Amino acid sequence: MPTPDGLVIIENAAHPQVRRRSTMGHEMSHVLLEHGFSATLVNERGCRTHDPEQEQQANELAGELLVPSSVALRLAWQRATDEQVARAFDVSPRMAAWPGG
């Protein structure tokens, strides 16, 4: 969320740590990619608004930030499981299995 002094990322402290890391990586990716912010977070029906292309870009960069592809490739050659990678990087097995991170 933009503020007069910069940006604020709000996270849900009730979520598991691995989800919070994923969320933070995703939101930080929007900042690093210099994605713009819409004036509204939800549309007239109360649904979240988003740009699918920007969301995909943020997902890809978040994966790279959390599990660098060079390391993921090395671990794949070592036949590490998604669960082993997830534990090593404190991410979910789903994030560990993500193409590109």
| pLDDT tens column, 24-69 | 999 999 999 998 876 556 667 766 667 889 989 999 999 999 999 9
Rounded to 5°, angle at Cα 68 from 57 and 92: 80
Share of the chain above pLDDT 90, in %: 57
Give the predicted TM-score (pTM) of the model. 0.79
For residue 43, what pLDDT is reported? Answer: 62
Residue type, position 22, single letter: S
Q: What share of the chain is helix, strand, coil (3-state, %, to 5)?
A: 50, 5, 40
For residue 11, what pLDDT is reported? Answer: 87
CA-to-CA dists, residue 10 to 27, 30, 59, 92, angstroms: 9, 13, 17, 20
- Can you say whether residue 100 is alpha, beta or left, with left for phi > 0 and alpha for psi between -120 and 50 degrees? left
